[in-house]
């Protein structure tokens, strides 16, 4: 995420007609340039990139440093091959272009594609390198195309003169089956200094490695970044949900061992588990269950609000059931997690709910914001009362049965 202004120096000399890099040296170079521009602009939106050609009639700046990727790609069209590369002039013009960048806070970097032989003397190159270092400009050299002894040596000398704390790099790309851009992706030119690569580079690397199938989700992040992002996000959400469910199951298993002594805490646990269970139920779409439980919940709340006596009974009932709590608890939880239909366990579950609700209401009463004299709360309770009468009848027989 370094804020950087980059000038890319393209070699469009006659030497670039050669086909030892597929499809041609020049085309391979153009692809690499496109990739670099994309990587730079993605890693930091304020980065700017400019392009100039070193051969042809003379050094020509095609586009001054800009963050507009479209402009950069457009200027790569219609480039003509010809002439001879002038490395020294190219680098100096690049340095000048960087000097006049708009945002002075950007670090300066020059990327040179050296495909043709270097006709300058080593001393000249070293002097240029030192001047770059003095003005804190970093230099990346891509040595490809023509290979001769002198060239490598000169370029290495240039790098040594410029290099300040490893900010400058040189990459030698021999001709071969791998495309120029693929080789560059894994180099520090792409990955920046010690950043470990941006997402762009990583995705591109995946592409290079396995072709289309190498892409995550089978979608090219370059072609359709939004779709790739959406797929990635939904995958992570699903993974998170599964982890949460697994954690819940583990919690439930540990809760079963606690027993009746920790009724309150297990009730708490049940409460939270109910909450999360209801959540998972919503996901598994047991709408019937939810409606019933909601209604029962409301009844229980109303009951606990205006009839503490009954509530006590229910609670006592619950307490007596404490010994046999565990299997019921397990059953209740199982029911909440799986899709099983209502059975007697639902009743016991409801009694648990009641107890829970009394717990909840006692908490609510103690909350500073809740005022039982509030008209809206009163209305709610009134509507619940009608339901609660029906609920009373339901509750009493089963609790009496269980007492027996």
Partner 1 sequence: MSGESASAIPKGQVDLLDFIDWSGVECLNQSSTHSLPNALKQGYREDDGLHLESDADEQLLLYIPFTQVIKLHSIIVKGTEEQGPKTVKLFSNKEHMGFSNVSDYPPSDTAVLSPDNLKGKPVLVKYVKFQNVRSLTIFIEDNQSGSEITKVQKIMLYGSTVETTDMKGLKKIEDH
Binding footprint of partner 1 on the chain (CB under 8 A): 99, 104, 130-131, 133-136, 161, 164-165
Nearer to partner 1, 115 or 129 (CB): 129
- Compute the least distance from the CB of residue 130 to partner 1, in Å: 4
- Compute the least distance from the CB of residue 115 to partner 1, in Å: 28
Nearer to partner 1, 88 or 269 (CB): 88
Q: Which residues of 338-376 are buried (b: 16+ CB within 10 A; e: fewer)?
A: eeeeeeebbbbbbbbbbbbbbbbbeebeeeeeeeeeeee
- Compute the least distance from the CB of residue 104 to partner 1, in Å: 5
Nearer to partner 1, 156 or 402 (CB): 156
Separation CA 7–CA 50 (nearest Å): 5
Q: Is 144 left (phi over 0), alpha (psi -120 to 50) or beta?
A: beta
- Compute the least distance from the CB of residue 107 to partner 1, in Å: 12
60-66/48-53 β-pairing? antiparallel
Separation CA 97–CA 84 (nearest Å): 21
Nearer to partner 1, 68 or 166 (CB): 166
Helix 225-256 vs helix 325-337: crossing angle, to nearest 10? 170
| DSSP H helices in 147-262 | 149-162, 180-185, 188-191, 199-210, 225-256
169-172/137-143 β-pairing? parallel
Separation CA 34–CA 190 (nearest Å): 12
- Compute the least distance from the CB of residue 81 to partner 1, in Å: 33
- Compute the least distance from the CB of residue 48 to partner 1, in Å: 16
Nearer to partner 1, 135 or 362 (CB): 135
CA distances from 297 to 78, 263, 332 (A): 73, 20, 15
Nearer to partner 1, 99 or 285 (CB): 99
- Compute the least distance from the CB of residue 213 to partner 1, in Å: 45
* Rg of the chain on CA atoms, in Å: 36
Cβ proximity of 364 and 370 under 8 Å: yes
92's enclosing H/E stretch is helix 87-99
Number of Cβ atoms within 10 Å of the Cβ of 49:
27
User: What pairs with residue 52 in β-bridges?
Assistant: 9, 61
Nearer to partner 1, 124 or 175 (CB): 124
- Compute the least distance from the CB of residue 57 to partner 1, in Å: 26
Nearer to partner 1, 61 or 132 (CB): 132
């Amino acid at each position: 995420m370094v804020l950087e202004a980059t000038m890319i120096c393209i070699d469009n000399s006659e030497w670039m007609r050669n086909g030892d890099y597929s499809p041609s040296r020049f085309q391979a170079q153009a692809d690499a340039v496109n990739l670099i521009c994309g990587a730079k602009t993605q890693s930091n939106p304020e980065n700017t990139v400019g392009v100039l050609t070193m051969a042809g009639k003379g050094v020509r700046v095609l586009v001054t440093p800009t963050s507009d990727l479209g402009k950069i790609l457009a200027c790569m069209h219609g480039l003509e091959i010809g002439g001879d590369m002038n490395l020294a002039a190219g680098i100096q013009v690049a340095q000048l272009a960087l000097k006049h960048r708009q945002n002075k806070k950007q670090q300066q970097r020059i990327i040179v594609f050296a495909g043709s032989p270097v006709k300058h003397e080593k001393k000249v190159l070293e002097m240029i390198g030192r001047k770059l270092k003095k003005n804190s400009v970093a230099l990346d050299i891509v040595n490809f195309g023509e290979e001769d002894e002198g060239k490598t040596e000169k370029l290495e000398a240039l790098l040594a003169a410029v290099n300040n704390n490893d900010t400058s790099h040189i990459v030698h790309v021999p001709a071969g089956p791998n495309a120029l851009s693929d080789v560059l992706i894994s180099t520090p030119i792409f990955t920046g200094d010690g950043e470990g690569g941006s997402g762009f580079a990583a995705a591109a690397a995946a592409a290079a490695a396995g072709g289309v199938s190498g892409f995550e989700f089978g979608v090219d992040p370059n072609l359709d970044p939004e779709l790739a992002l959406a797929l990635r996000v939904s995958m992570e959400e699903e993974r998170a949900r599964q982890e949460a469910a697994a954690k819940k199951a583990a919690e439930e298993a540990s809760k079963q061992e606690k027993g009746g002594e920790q009724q309150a805490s297990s009730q708490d646990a049940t409460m939270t588990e109910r909450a999360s269970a209801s959540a998972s139920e919503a996901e598994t779409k047991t709408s019937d269950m939810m409606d019933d439980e909601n209604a029962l919940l409301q009844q229980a709340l109303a009951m606990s609000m205006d009839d503490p006596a009954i509530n006590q009974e229910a609670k006592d009932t619950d307490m007596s059931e404490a010994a046999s709590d565990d299997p019921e608890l397990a059953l209740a939880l199982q029911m909440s997690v799986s899709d099983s239909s209502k059975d007697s366990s639902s009743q016991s579950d409801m009694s648990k709910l009641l107890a829970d609700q009394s717990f909840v209401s006692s908490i609510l009463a103690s909350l500073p914001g809740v005022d039982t004299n509030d008209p809206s709360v009163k209305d709610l309770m009134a509507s619940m009362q009608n339901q609660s009468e029906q609920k009373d009848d339901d509750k009493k027989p089963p609790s009496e049965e269980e007492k027996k």
